[in-house]
A and B are shown apart, each in its own frame.
Chain A
Amino acid sequence: MIHLITGGSGSGKSAYAESRIQQFDIDRRYYIATMQPFDEESHARIRRHRLMRKDKGFETIECYHDLETVKIEEGASVLLECMSNLVANEMFGQQKSIEETIEAVRSGVENLQRQAAEIVIVTNEIFSHTSFYEKETKDYQECLGRINQMLADMSSDVIEVVYGIPVEHKCQAKMYHHIAKCAKG
């Protein structure tokens, strides 16, 4: 099953995603890191995330593009973080078009589905902003927006984390009644 976690910057979605994956009764845990470090700020961000994951039993796989090539142990659980970086890398690093990027992500996630029992994907809300953007930024927004919709469709549950509070937008995973907020709307 796929569980999609979204939210804004600094919303606590990573911490939530990590706690979510620990709820599965699966010892084999992978962390697919998609952020390619290119300056001190990104190195600092990666250090912060590594510290958060420490002692949580993750094996880290660095995958900046071509998710369909990732091989993991059958029946494992996977935390992929973050879709916004993967999409940026495919579009700007690999020079893929919007359509090519969407297909690369689709086949990449399907590749994980064939191997993993549980997949938690962290994505990002980058769609509310006051500024005008250049075309390539708009293309990026369109691409990630369409990918988020596709992933939500493939997912059993979609959770937006708002300042650490999980707000459920879709929940088919009945085993998570204790945290489901569906009844509250």
Chain B
Amino acid sequence: MVMYIGGAFQGQDTLAKEEYPHIHWVDGECCSWDELMEAEGVLNFHEFIKEQLRQEKDLSSLAEEMLKKNSGLIIVSNEVGYGVVPVDAFERKYRECVGRVCTKLAAGSDKVCRVVCGIGAWIKDA
């Protein structure tokens, strides 16, 4: 598993697609749970989490299931936890959930690339 993460509009999707131009990407904003488990790459993974939370799905074992069923997945996700604590309860739940899921995925990933201004830094490279 490889992760490309960064703040909004930092070019993590462009960098990942350059690195893996021939794989099948799904979009986290509209892909299903099953599609995620079979995809080669996922863009906007944070949007997948938001959509699942909107549907009130239990995400406590999402990371474990992904690592078990799709350990070769390339994940592109925004980091959403760097703002002031949101007033809205759903927003608070969402940003914390992105953090918890991605922390578990990062622990199971071989490599994690953090992208700032389109420039990637490998913060984990096993």
A residues sitting closer than 8 Å to B (CB atoms) are: 7-12, 41, 125-131, 133, 137, 140-141, 162-165, 167, 181, 184-185
Contact = CB atoms under 8 A, between A and B. Distances in A.
Contact of A165 (B96, B99, B106): B106
A10 B82 contact: no
Main secondary structure of the interface of A (DSSP, over half): loop
B30 interface: no
Given A129-B84, A165-B106, A10 B100 contact: yes
A126 B98 contact: no
Contact of B121 (A126, A163, A185): A185
Contacts of B102: 163
A8 B82 contact: yes
Contacts of A10: 81, 95-100, 103
Interface of B: 3, 5, 7-8, 79-85, 89, 92, 95-100, 102-103, 105-107, 112, 114, 121-124
A165 B80 CA distance: 16
Nearest to A141: B84
Given A9-B85, A133-B84, 5 more contacts: A9-B82, A10-B98, A41-B89, A127-B82, A162-B106
Contacts of B105: 163
Nearest to A138: B84
Contacts of A127: 82-83
Contact of B96 (A9, A129, A130, A140): A9
Nearest to B82: A128
A9 B123 contact: no
A165 B124 contact: yes
A163 B99 contact: yes
A125 B122 CA distance: 20
B47 to A, nearest CB: 15
A130 B123 contact: no
Contact of B5 (A41, A140, A141, A162): A162
B87 to A, nearest CB: 10
Contact of A126 (B85, B92, B103): B85
A182 to B, nearest CB: 13
Contact of A8 (B3, B81, B106, B123): B81
Given A10-B98, A11-B99, A165 B112 contact: yes
A11 B8 contact: no
11 contacts: A8-B82, A10-B81, A10-B98, A125-B81, A128-B82, A129-B84, A131-B84, A162-B106, A163-B112, A164-B106, A164-B107
